[in-house]
Structure formats: structure tokens, C-alpha cells
Copies of this chain bind each other. A is one copy, B any other.
Amino acid sequence: MNEEPLTAIKWDEYHLLPAIVQDAASKEVLTLAYMNAESLRLTIETGETWFWSRSRQKLWHKGATSGNTQEVIALHLDCDGDALVVLVKPAGPACHTGARSCFYRRWNAGTGHWEPIPGVATAEQLQEESV
């Protein structure tokens, strides 16, 4: 692989790039994760998503443990070269909680609460108190 996909990137001060993972079919935003150069290279070479886990400080092949891999359909880079959209075909829920998307809560101005979203949150999350 040539180096161009990497040299076009404006990495942040931690040498990371925010990657917005979006379902290529439904267009639902699934996760915001972070890539370093190695994870972007692996994502392009393997056709599945790889990230850099900031909490665990290690490379992370999405779905390696859970089986919920994400097949990469397309990569879109922004005007500044400092953010990426990764269009994927997911094999299962994106969120470690089991929700289809990590973005399973919505702001309810009426109640003044973040509340779980039906059809996105898990049954357990829907039963819990809004946070």
C-alpha cells in the first residue's frame, strides 16, 4: 500500500484521527472512535475497522472479541483532513452495551432528560431510568 492515505491526514496532538462509523445502508451513525496511522493502514488493508483504544492504549480490531466486525464499504475524508467517515456493513451491534448504535440516547427538551431511543437502545436500557 502506498502512503498517501496516511500523508493526507492531519493527525491530532496524540497522533490520532477521529473516525465516525456510519452504517452504509441505513446511514445511522454508530460510533465515534479514533484511529492512529497503524489502525488506518490495517483498516484499508483488511477491509474491516481497526481503531486505537484511548482507554486501553492499544490497537483494537472491532469485533475481534464480540464477533461484531464492521466491513468497510467506503472512507470519506473531510476538508481539513482531520476527521474521517467510515461507511460500514456491521455484523452486529456497534455498542459494547449491546445497543445497535452507541448514540442510543436523545435529548428530550420536554422532560429535561437524556432518554433511551426505542429501536436503538436495548430492552434493558429502555427500562432503565433516563440519565
A residues within 8 Å of B by Cβ? 1-2, 4-5, 8, 18, 20, 22, 26-29, 31-32, 44, 74-80, 83, 85, 95-97, 99, 102-107, 109, 112-114, 117, 131
Given contacts A76-B117, A109-B44, contact A29 B32 (CB under 8 A): no
A82 to chain B, nearest CB (A): 8
Given contacts A76-B117, A107-B74, contact A32 B112 (CB under 8 A): no
A18 CB contacts on chain B under 8 angstroms: 18, 32
A95 CB contacts on chain B under 8 angstroms: 79
CA distance A61 to B8 in the complex (A): 29
A4 CB contacts on chain B under 8 angstroms: 112-114
